[in-house]
Copies of this chain bind each other. A is one copy, B any other.
């Protein structure tokens, strides 16, 4: 993987395709290019390889292959999931904009509040629960703060409400969706344990190709297709299958399984060291990522009174790539709704950096990055004083 001349601190926005992932994809572009629906043996082999890749993905997640709907990425998966949502919809206030947009399109969005680390409490979900809620959506790992949500506890509360509805003869469905896109590189997801009905994943966040994702659908959950046509993916998502992409996704998940525990240790050590050095230098710095309960590759820091955009441009000129917030929000020039949701004030939001480590991080480049961030902040502080 290329890592020369720059220091990449934005693995939450995009991950490079692992060379082994690309190798597994390459035969399916120009050689095994056949339409998986064609009748002759060579096409049947392609279909078999595609099905086998789905089986490998399913095994990795502890589910069945025919429960997976392969999509063109997390955003599409989320949109298909929300086809089951109507009326009152509970969504955590710190979700990715794709989830918030899908919820607004589907029904009445009610936001579940989060604490100052972006964590929602099962109790606050309990308080908002009512007989007319049909759909709950909470992401496993927050994309700006790395906060890991208590999905299993939330699942239990939802199950209690379901049992109450059954006992009282109510037949309003209650479906639980989890966007786990940010999690797969570092968390071993066994879907059944989470207690969810629908789960979204993205290959692009786990060193796989962009525009490849999946939606796991618990048997019995009825969804409406967003794209109709040839009837692929059990009729839920028509279109000639992305054979190369899905095979790349399978390889990426298997590589993540092998490397996860080593990577967690490696990244946590570097992340903690960076956090410590920066805290020592800048006691006024706010850390909003949770060093204990958050994902170990995230470090979210705020310097109230500074302009993070200026920090980013200075760092970029030294080869350091870092984000102010999610890429989507950055692109639209809007303030992070996630930082607003955790009660951060404007001055702190304006001075916020999201740092996310990953496979391109090395001890050396993290040390250099730390030194350069210190230099950048010192320069900016001198300028605004």
Contacts and interface: CB of A to CB of B under 8 A. Distances in A.
Contact of A33 (B15, B78, B241, B332): B15
Nearest to A3: B31
A286 B284 CA distance: 83
B16 A31 contact: yes
A49 to B, nearest CB: 13
Interface residues of A, number: 71
A188 to B, nearest CB: 24
A230 B97 CA distance: 6
A240 B125 CA distance: 30
Given A226-B79, A330-B38, A19 B13 contact: no
Contacts of A75: 227, 229-230, 238-240
Nearest to A315: B40
B78 A328 contact: no
A337 to B, nearest CB: 12
A259 interface: no
B22 A34 contact: no
A288 to B, nearest CB: 19
Contacts of A228: 79, 98, 101-102, 104-105
B229 A97 contact: yes
A239 to B, nearest CB: 4
A72 interface: yes
Interface string A1-38: 11000100010011111110010001001110111111
A350 to B, nearest CB: 14
A325 to B, nearest CB: 10
A89 to B, nearest CB: 14
A65 interface: no
7 contacts: A18-B30, A37-B328, A38-B330, A39-B309, A41-B316, A76-B227, A102-B229
The 5 closest A-B pairs by CB, nearest first: A98-B229, A72-B72, A230-B328, A37-B331, A75-B239
Interface of A: 1-2, 6, 10, 13-19, 22, 26, 29-31, 33-43, 72-76, 78-79, 96-98, 101-102, 104-105, 204, 209-211, 226-231, 238-245, 309, 312, 316, 321-324, 327-328, 330-332
